[in-house]
A = this chain, B = another copy of it.
């Protein structure tokens, strides 16, 4: 299983006048966590993009279970779920320090050639690494 954890702290500009962290920020947090997972397997996203690959989000299904608040530390856990053709799917969790799940999401990105905008298979090295991780689950 390929999984990674990052800790983020909710910033003041992430809050809204409801006093909650604005819900759109989860997609940013999950993106940051996703590329930390890629960094952990030696494939930083910046390198992929230099190799003419982008990985835009094509699907996101998000459940907002509890609000997050200013200055709170949040643990983001990202797990690779599947690799199908050009699509890579992750499951994402956001937890507070007490271990309560604040948010959970499934996020799918597609491999796209930066120059052409067309979907493509992931680079072989990424396929190998990702398949190895999925098979070990």
| B-binding residues in A (CB < 8 A) | 11-13, 15-20, 22-25, 27-28, 31-32, 35, 44-46, 49, 54, 56-65, 67, 70-71, 114, 117
Contacts and interface: CB of A to CB of B under 8 A. Distances in A.
Contacts of A64: 56-60
A84 to B, nearest CB: 16
Contact of A15 (B16, B57, B117): B16
A64 B15 CA distance: 20
A12 B23 contact: no
B67 A20 contact: no
A100 to B, nearest CB: 14
A127 to B, nearest CB: 22
Contacts of A28: 11, 13, 24
A92 B96 CA distance: 30
Q: Which of A24, A49, A62 has the most CB of B within 10 A?
A: A24
B20 A56 contact: yes
Contact of A11 (B31, B49, B57, B114): B31
